[in-house]
Structures are given as C-alpha cells and as structure tokens.
C-alpha cells in the first residue's frame, strides 16, 4: 500500500439509532478498509434506491395527490386574499366617508355655519376694570397654589426670595408671582 495520508477526520452529528453503525464504520476506516467500505456503501445505496422507485409520471397516483393538495391550497389562499380585499375595501370606504365629513365640517366652519368655537365677546365702549389681586395669608394663598398652608410655609422658608417668586408663579393659575412680606405677614402679588 502506498504511503498516503487519509484526510483529517471531521466531527459530524448522526441520529442516535446510527451511532453504533457509524462507530463500526469509523473503526473499519481506521483499520484501512476504506475502499472496500465505500464500495459496500455504494452497493447498499443502489439497492435501496432500486427498491424505492417513485413513479412521477403525470397520471400517477402520487402526482395526482400532490395536484389535489396544491389546488386545495390555492383555493384557500384565494379565499384568504378575497377576504383581505373585502376588508380593505370596507376600510377604504369608511375613510372616504370620514374625509367627506371632515371636508364638510371645515367648509361649513369657514362659511360660519357650524361655528362651535366660543361666542365672540361683544365689544363695549368702556373698559372692564382689571381685578386687583389683594395680599393674602398662608391660609388664603395655599389653595390658590394647590398646596397646604404648611407646605407653603415650608417652600417659603426653604427657597430664596427669587426661587419662591418663580415657584409661586408656576403654581398660580394666572401665573402671578407671590412675595412674602415679614412686616405684615402677608403674600403680595408681583406682576
């Protein structure tokens, strides 16, 4: 036998029932029976193929069964497709109705027919007097700022004058800042 090296072995996965057979084949290969082993395997495969001859002529039973399954699948897919198309058509019609309604409302609003906005204020020849905010106590200002009187005092003591003005402005419904005057014990509005 010439001094030829075998190619390196590869690791492969095999089904559990074939493990014993593969081990035996591997052992025969290591013993140098590779050519005889390959010939035996080819003969086995040829014998197996000759016993499992599949008739694939146009009129054969397996082909007819396959055609039947394909037609059934095509029919099912066609039904699904038409169902989706029907749903899409319904959605499209609804969208068109909504667009027409929006168009009608917007054109009516432009002409003044459906003006749902606030009624316009009547203009008077005299000016309405501005309501002047009065200084407040802890108990009067706290609800306006949405806090308890104790929280109001805590914020006033914790923050600098500038920070308290900013804090109170952000909490006030009219964005009015409030400044504490220790002399009279009241919060005074700052514009």
pLDDT in tens, 9-18: 677 788 888 7
Q: What is the arithmetic mean of pLDDT over 48-59? A: 67
Q: Are 172 and 144 in contact (CB under 8 A)?
A: yes
CA separation, residue 176 to residues 53, 141, 144, 157, 161 (Å)? 95, 11, 11, 19, 15
Q: How far apart are CA 116 and CA 105, in angstroms?
A: 10
Stronger pLDDT, 117 or 3, i.e. the higher one: 3
Length of the chain: 191
- On whether the CB atoms of residues 169 and 176 are closer than 8 A, the answer is yes
Mean of the per-residue pLDDT values for the chain? 78
164 Cβ neighbours under 8 A, 6+ residues apart: 155, 156, 178, 179, 180
Given a cut of 60, whether residue 41 has pLDDT beyond it is yes
| Residue 151, token pair as written in the block | 């929280």
Rounded Cα distance between 12 and 29, Å, is: 15
Reduced to 3 states (helix: H, G, I; strand: E, B; else coil), residue 124 is coil
What is the distance between the alpha carbons of residues 148 and 87, in angstroms, rounded to a whole number? 57
Task: State the pTM of this model.
Answer: 0.34
Per-residue pLDDT at 76 exceeds 60: yes
Place of tokens 């914020």: 155
């Amino acid at each position: 036998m010439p001094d030829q090296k075998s190619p390196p072995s590869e690791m492969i996965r095999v089904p559990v029932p074939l493990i014993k057979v593969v081990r035996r084949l591997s052992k025969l290969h290591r013993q140098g029976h590779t050519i005889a082993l390959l010939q035996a395997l080819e003969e086995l495969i040829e014998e197996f193929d000759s016993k499992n001859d599949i008739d694939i002529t146009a009129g054969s039973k397996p082909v007819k069964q396959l055609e039947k399954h394909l037609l059934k699948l095509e029919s099912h897919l066609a039904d699904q497709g038409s169902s989706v198309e029907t749903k899409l058509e319904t959605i499209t019609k609804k969208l068109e109705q909504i667009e027409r309604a929006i168009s009608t409302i917007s054109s009516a609003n432009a002409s003044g027919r459906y003006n749902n906005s606030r009624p316009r204020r009547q203009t008077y020849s005299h000016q309405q007097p501005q309501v002047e905010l009065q200084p407040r106590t802890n108990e009067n200002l706290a609800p306006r700022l949405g806090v308890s009187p104790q929280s109001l005092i805590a914020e006033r003591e914790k923050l600098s004058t500038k920070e308290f003005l900013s804090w109170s402005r952000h909490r006030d419904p009219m964005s009015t800042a409030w400044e504490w005057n220790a002399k009279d014990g009241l919060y005074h509005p700052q514009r």
